[in-house]
Chains A and B, each alone.
Chain A
Amino acid sequence: MARRSVLPLYYLSWGILLGILLGGRPAYAGDDWLPISREDLAMTSHPASPGAHAIFLYREEETDDTASFTSYYYRIKIFTEEGKERANVEIPYLKQRVNVRDIKARVIRPDGTVVNFEGKPFDKTVVKGRGIKFLAKTFTLPDVQVGSIIEYKYKMEWDRRLLYDTRWIIPEDLFTLRTRFALRPYHGYLRLRWINVRIPEGKLAKEEKGLIHLELENIPAFQKEEYMPPENELKSRVDFFYTRSSEMDTDKFWKQEGKRMYEEVDKFVGHRKGIERAAAEMVSPHDPPETKLRKLYARVQQIRNLSYEHSKTEMEEKREKLKKAENVEEVLKHGYGYGGEITWLFLALARGAGFEAWPVLVSRRNRYFFNPNILDTRQVDDNVVLVHLNSQDLYLDPGTTHCPFGLLPWGETGVKGLRLEKDGGVFVTTPLPPSSASRIERKAHVELGEATALEGKLSVTFTGLEALRRRLTERDEDEAGQRKSLEDEIKSWLPVGSTVELQNAPDWAGTEEPLRAEFKIRMPNWANSVGRRLLFPVALFAGSKQRRFEHANRIYPVYFDFPFQTSDEVTLKLPTGFQVGSLPDARNRQTPFGQYEMSCQAQAGMLRLVRRLSSEGLLIPLQYYAGLRGFYETVRSGDDEQVVLQYAQVDQRN
C-alpha cells in the first residue's frame, strides 16, 4: 500500500514514507475469524507454487476513508521450516499519524486446534527524534509448525482530518490463493479517480453501493530477476487518488494540467530583458546556431548545481544563506540553482538568443513508465528543453551535471513527455540514442612473456552515456577513489590475479569530452601451457559479462538502460620461439538484439585481435528471451575461442 495525502505537502511526504514502511503488510477489524476449510488444513503444498515455503491462503485490505481506517487480514499456510519465519510479524507505523489497534493473531495447527496469541505486541522503535516517532508493533506467534496456518489482523486508523491516496499492490512475495481489496471513498469537495494497472480484464476493480472492491485469485509470488524492468511496471495494482480537478477525460486532463504547468514554468522563465542581454553576451552574433546553443549550454553548466551537492544539515544551509530563486534571472544572478532551475535558465537563454524552444516535462523511466491514463501529474517528474535547431528537434538537459550537449541522461531517453504550451501542449517522445553514442573502446598493446604472463598498455575511452554514468557515480569521490573505481572496473574485465595501474589523470570534471584512461596491465596466468603449446582465449576483456542470462527460463521481459557498444582492438606480440598454430575463425553475428564481431589475424610475430559487440535492445519481450540468450551464448562461445601457439622448432604436424 502506498498512501499519499492530498492535503498539505508535509502530510504528503509522511504518507509516502509510511507507505514504503507499510509495503506489503496486510489485516482486519473485529474478532470474527473467517472459517477454515479442511482442504486448507490438510494442504502440504500448492501446485501453482511448487516448492514454496508458505502461501497466502487469503489476504484482505479494506479502507474506509469516511471513517479514516484500514483493516488488514492475513492468513498464511506454512509448508516448510523456512516458512515458519512468517510467524514473526512487524507492523511499522508513524505514531503521530497512525494508531494501530485490535491486533489479533492465532495459529491453527494441522489438526485444527487453535493457539491464540495472548501476548502484548512489543513496540519497537524504528526511528524517534525531532518530533518523529516511527514504531513497529512486533510479535511472534507461538507453536508454529510445518502445516500450521497462521493468521492475524489489525486496524490502522488515522486523524479524521486527513485523507490519503490509496494504492493496492496485488502481488506479494508469496503466492496468494485469494485476495480482496476494498475502499469506501470520501465524498466531499475532492473527486476520487482510480485506475486498474495490469489487472486482468473481467477482474477489474468496480464500484458497487459506494464500495470499490477487487477480488482476485491465484496471484503468483513476485520475484526479482536480473535486467528486469522497474518493479512498478511489473506489479499489477490499482491506484486511487483524490483530486480537486473535475476533469475525467484523459486528453482534456492533460491539456488542462499542461496549461496550468505551462503557466507555472512561464512565471519562472518569462520573457526577461535581462536574460536576453545575458544571452547576447554569451554568444557572438556571427556564431552559427549550433555554436550559439552549445555556448549557452556550456555556460549554464558552469553554474553551481545544488542538486549534485552532498546533503547538508539545516545548520549548514542556514549558514550558507542560499537564496531561493524566484525566476531564471535570479538563478543567473545567484550563480547557483537546482538542476531543474538551471534547465529552465537554459530555456530562457535559448529563447533570448532567438531559438524556438519549449519546456518539456518528462517522465523518467528509472522507476516506472509513463501512463497517460493515470491522471497524476507527478508522473512527469523531470524537465528538459526542446530546441528547434536547423530543422531538427533537439532535447537537452543541462541541469544534469556532466551531461553532454545533444544527449539526455538514460532515464530521460525514449520516454514520453509533455511539451508545454499556452494551450496545454502536446505529448512528445524523447529520442533514444543509438548504441554508437555510448561506447567503451579498449585498445591494448600487450606482449606475451616467456612464461604465461601477458602485460602491456591499455587505453580505455568511455563515450556518451557510458561516460556520463561513470562521471555521475564518481563525482563525489576524490582522486584516489576515482582511480580505485576505474582500476577495479578494469580488473573485473580481466582474469583473477591481474594487476591494473592507472597511468593518466582522466578528465572526471568534463562534459563534452569522452572519459579517457590509460593503464598498465599484467595478467600473470593468461596463457595455458600444455606441452609444446600455449593456448589462450581470443577475447582479452570477456570478464564477468560472460555470465549474462544464465537461466533458461524467465518470468519478465529483459530491460537494458540504454543501447551501447564495446569495441576492442588488441595488438599482441608473440613470445620468442613461438609461432601461431591455429587461430579461430572470424565471427560476425547480427541479430535484432545486437551485433557481435570477432576476428584474429597474425602478422610478423604479432596478433591483432578485434572484437565488437553492440546491444541494441531496450525492452525485450519475454517471447524473445531464448533468442537473446542465444545471442549472448554466441558471444561467450566466441570469446572463449582459443589461439594456439606452438614452439617454432617442433615439427609442423598441426
Chain B
Amino acid sequence: MMSRWFSNMPRWTSATRLAFVLAVLWASAPGVAGDAPGWLHSLSAVPLPKYPDDPDVVRLFDERIITVKDSGEVKTLHRRAYKILRPQGRHHGTVVVSFDSETRLSNLKGWCIPAQGKDYEVKEKDALETGLSEELYSDERTKILTIPAAEPGSVIGYEYEQKERPYLLQNVWWFQDIHPVREAHLTLQLPSGWEYKAYWLNHPEKQPISLPNNQWRWDLADLPAVPQEPSMPPAAAVQGRLVVLFFPNADRQRAIGSWSDLAKWYGGLMVGRREASPEIKQKVMALTAGATTTLEKIRALVHFLQRDIRYVAIEIGIGGYQPHSAQEVFSKRYGDCKDKATLLSTMLREVGVESYYVVIHTRRGVAAPSHPPALGSFNHVILAIRLPADVSTGGLFAVQNHEHLGTLLYFDPTSSFTPLGYLPASLQANYGLLVTEQGGELLRLPLLPPSTNRLMRMGKLTLSPSGTLTGEVKEVRWGEPAVSRRAQLLEVQGPGRTKMLESFLATFLGGFTLTKAEVGNLEKYDENLMLDYNFVAENYAKRAGNLLLVRPRVLGQKSSDLLERKERKYPFEFSTASMETDTFEIALPPGYEVDELPPPVDVNYGFAAYRSKIEVSGGVLKYSRTYEVKDVFVSTAQLGELKKFYRQVMADEFTSAVLRRSSP
C-alpha cells in the first residue's frame, strides 16, 4: 500500500495506537501555568445546544490558515478546540500530528481551560515523537502532545504550523468529523497573480468571503456528526470536505485540474522505472520457456510476482508515490504495490504485452468522477493489462473494453491469493486512475458477476433416532469466497486450521466431534478451494414427546443483524457480488416420518435474492438454498428492503422440520 497517498487524512494505524498508549503512559507532560489564548477563551463560554446520541466531545472550533508563497511553499496554521462532554472524550487531550521529511512541523502548543481552576499550557518540547507506522520503512512521523486535565467539562485547544512544498498545489480540508462541529474556518492567502478553484464534496457549495491581499475565507457552522455505521461507505465518501486547487494564473499547467492531469503527474514519476535488466530478461525467458500461448506466459509471470516478490513497503520522501525501479525490485525480491506493478509491467513487456498502472483506493467511494483530482483519493496501485488479440477472455472476468486500448484485464499483483482474471472485492465497482502515455482517465472497474464468486456447500448426513447428526460436508469455493478462506487458512499454522473449522462448526452445532478435515488446492491459487469435513453432532435434533425437531439448515449463516441495531443514515455496502448455495441431505431416522415442514422461501430484491426449499423423498430430507448478492450498493431508500430481506433469511435459517415417530 502507498500510505503516503492517504497521509493528509486522519490515520489511526495500530502503530499509532501503540504510540498513543506509550504517550499516555508517559503522560507526565510537565507543562506550565499559562493562560490559554483569547481565541480559546472566547469559545469556552459559548452555550452548546443539546446534541443527539450523547457525543463524547464537540469540536468547538476548527481553523486552517493557508499561506502560499510564490515559490510554491505552503505554510498552514492549524487551530482546533474541543469541549469534552463525556469520559470517553478524554483521549482528545492527546493530540496526534503527522509530519515527514518534507513537512516541517513547528509551534505545536496545547491548552486546557478546565471547568474549574487555572488554564494549562503545553508546548512542543513536551511532546513525544514516534515514527511507528504500518510500513517497515517510512519517514512518516508523529508528534504526540498530552494536554493536562482533559476531563469532562474542560475545553482543550491546540495549534501548530506546517511548512511544506507539496508535490501538488492543492489542499483538502476535512471539516466534518464523527463528532458535531460548532464552527470551522478556512483562510487561503495566495501570492498576487495566483488563483484557486474550490470543490465541495458531501456538502453544499459555499462562497468565500473575499479579503484584501488575495485572501479568501470560508466559514461553516453547526456541522452534524458523521456517525459510524457498519458496512457503510468509507468516511471519505460521506464526510464533508473542501478541496482547493491553487496555481499561478500565468502557469496554469501547474494546476492539477483534471484526473488526466493527475495521471500525467503520476506517469512522470514512472518514467524510467520499467527498464528490463539482462537478469529480468533472462528470468522472463526462463519463466515463459514452457508457455505456448501469450496467456500462459502472462500466467507464468503473474505466478512469479505473486509467489516470489514479497510485500515490503519502503516509503521515504517521494517514495510514497514513486515506485522503485524494476531492476531493484527484481534483485531484492521485495517491494510494495507500485513496485510489484512496476516489475510485472516490465516483465510483461518482455513477452510483448503492454500494461498500464491503475492508481486506486482500497475502499470504494473515495474517488469518483464528480470529485476533484486529489492525492488522497488513492492508496494502491494495480495493473491494467492490455490483452493482445490472440488472448481469449474466457475465464478472465476482470476485463473491460477500452475505447482506445482494447481489452484491458485488471490485475492486482499485491493480492497474493487473487488469481489472474479476478479482482479483489474492494477494487470491483471502484474508480481507478488509468495512467497512460497520453495522460489517463478515471475509470470504473467492473463488478464481477455473482457467478464468479461462488460458495457451494453440500452435506450428506444421517440423523439417528436419538438426534445425533453424522455425515460429510464438502465445500467448493472460487472467486472471493476462495480468496478470503484461503487467506485465513494459510495464515494459521498446523492445528490452527482444524481449530478454525471447529470454531465454524461450533457456531451451528452443539456437542460435535470433527472426525475428518481436509483442504484441497490450498496453495493452488488458480484452482477451486475444496474443503471436505466429517462430523458427529450429538443432540442435533431435539426430542419433544414423540416428535423430533430438526433444523434443516445445518451450517452457514447468510443473515445479519447489522440493520437491527440503530437507525441508519448511510447506504449499505456488500463486499462483493456472490452466489452461495447450500444443499443438505439428511437421511431420516427409521421409524420417523415428516409431520410438518417449513414453507419454501423465495425473496428477490434488486440487490439480492434468496430461495430455499425442503423436499422429502425416500426417507431423505433435502434442504437447498441459494443466496445471491447481485449488487454491492444498497441505497438508503433500499435499507427497509434489506432489513426485511435479512429477517426473511434469518427466519429460514432458524426454522425447524417436525418429525413424528411413526412406529413404536
Query: Which residues of A are in contact with B by a Cβ distance under 8 Å?
Result: 49-53, 80-82, 84, 87-88, 90, 122, 124-130, 132, 138, 140, 142-146, 221, 310-316, 319, 476-478, 480-481, 496-497, 525, 528-533, 535, 546-547, 550-553, 581-582, 584, 630, 633-634, 636-637, 640-644, 653-654
Contacts and interface: CB of A to CB of B under 8 A. Distances in A.
Contact of B136 (A129, A138, A315, A481): A138
A84 B332 CA distance: 13
A146 B310 CA distance: 11
Nearest to A538: B542
B564 interface: yes
Given A140-B334, A636-B510, 10 more contacts: A52-B493, A310-B90, A313-B146, A314-B31, A477-B88, A478-B86, A529-B655, A531-B597, A550-B502, A633-B510
A80 B651 contact: no
B333 interface: yes
Given A127-B22, A128-B129, A636-B511, A313 B27 contact: yes
Contact of A142 (B149, B334, B544, B545): B334
A432 B310 CA distance: 53
10 contacts: A49-B494, A88-B312, A126-B131, A312-B27, A313-B29, A525-B654, A547-B507, A582-B544, A584-B542, A636-B511
B476 to A, nearest CB: 22
B596 A531 contact: yes
A530 B660 CA distance: 14
Nearest to B492: A51
A530 B506 contact: no
Interface stretch (B120-128, B345-353, B405-413): B120-128
B499 interface: yes
B622 to A, nearest CB: 17
Given A127-B22, A145-B308, A315-B148, A535 B129 contact: no
Nearest to B598: A530
Contact of A552 (B19, B125, B502): B502
Contacts of B19: 126-127
B635 interface: no
Given A314-B29, A530-B598, A642-B549, A142 B333 contact: yes
A637 B511 contact: yes
Interface string B143-156: 00010110110000
B87 A528 contact: no
Contact of A84 (B22, B30, B310, B656): B310
B22 A644 contact: no
Contact of B130 (A82, A128, A547, A582): A128
Contacts of A88: 136, 312
Interface in B1-27: 19, 22-24, 26-27
Interface string B514-549: 100000000000000000000000110010111101
Contact of A525 (B149, B596, B650): B650
Contacts of B54: 480
Contact of A476 (B87, B129, B514): B87
A551 B517 CA distance: 14
Interface residues of B, number: 85
A653 B662 CA distance: 12
Contact of A315 (B32, B90, B503): B32
A535 B656 contact: yes
A643 to B, nearest CB: 8
Nearest to B549: A642
A533 B596 contact: yes
Interface string B62-101: 0000000000000000000000001110100000000000
B611 interface: no
B310 A528 contact: no
B130 A145 contact: no
B132 interface: yes
A208 B146 CA distance: 51
B167 interface: no
Contacts of B22: 126-127
A528 B493 contact: no
A82 B522 CA distance: 13
A528 B86 contact: no
A551 B497 CA distance: 11
A481 B86 contact: yes
B298 interface: no
A496 B503 CA distance: 19
A644 B549 contact: yes
A448 to B, nearest CB: 16
Contact of B494 (A52, A126, A496): A52
A637 B510 contact: yes
Contacts of A90: 136
A582 B538 contact: no
Contacts of A530: 596-598, 655-658
Most-contacted residue by chain A among B24, B308, B542 (CB, 10 A): B542
By Cβ-Cβ distance, the 8 closest A-B pairs, closest first, are A51-B494, A633-B511, A125-B131, A550-B506, A315-B31, A496-B561, A582-B545, A129-B128
A53 B493 contact: yes
Nearest to B643: A497
Contact of A311 (B27, B495, B496, B654): B27
A138 B137 CA distance: 8
A480 B87 CA distance: 10
A141 to B, nearest CB: 9
Nearest to A555: B495
A598 B218 CA distance: 67
Nearest to B650: A525
B390 interface: no
B644 interface: no
Contact of A124 (B126, B132, B545, B564): B132
Contacts of B86: 478, 480-481
Given A480-B86, A530-B655, A644-B544, A132 B510 contact: no
Contacts of B90: 310
Interface string B193-237: 000000000000000000000000000000000000000000000
Contact of B561 (A53, A126, A497): A497
A553 B132 CA distance: 38
B118 interface: yes
Contact of A533 (B496, B647, B658): B658
B117 interface: yes
A331 B120 CA distance: 28
Nearest to B658: A530
Given A533-B658, A535-B656, A547 B506 contact: yes
Nearest to B467: A637
